Amino acid sequence: DAEITQSPRHKITETGRQVTLACHQTWNHNNMFWYRQDLGHGLRLIHYSYGVQDTNKGEVSDGYSVSRSNTEDLPLTLESAASSQTSVYFCASSIAGDGTDTQYFGPGTRLTVL
Q: Could you list the residues that contact other proteins (CB under 8 A)?
A: 31, 33, 35, 40-45, 48, 50, 58, 90, 92, 96-97, 99-108
Identity of the residue numbered 74? L
Query: Minimal distance in Å, beta carbon 68 to other proteins?
Result: 15
Query: Minimal distance in Å, beta carbon 114 to other proteins?
Result: 21
**CA–CA separation, 1 and 108 (whole Å):** 19
Contacts with 106 (C-beta within 8 Å, 6 or more apart), sequence order: 4, 5, 6, 23, 25, 90, 91, 92
**CA–CA separation, 8 and 10 (whole Å):** 5
Query: Minimal distance in Å, beta carbon 82 to other proteins?
Result: 23
Q: Which phi and psi angles does 84 have, rounded to 5°?
A: -70, -10
Query: Minimal distance in Å, beta carbon 95 to other proteins?
Result: 11
Q: Which is nearer to other proteins, 16 or 97 (CB)?
A: 97
Q: Which is nearer to other proteins, 45 or 63 (CB)?
A: 45
Supply angle C-alpha 102, 42, 7, rounded to 5. Answer: 70
Q: Which is nearer to other proteins, 40 or 53 (CB)?
A: 40
Q: Which is nearer to other proteins, 78 or 89 (CB)?
A: 89
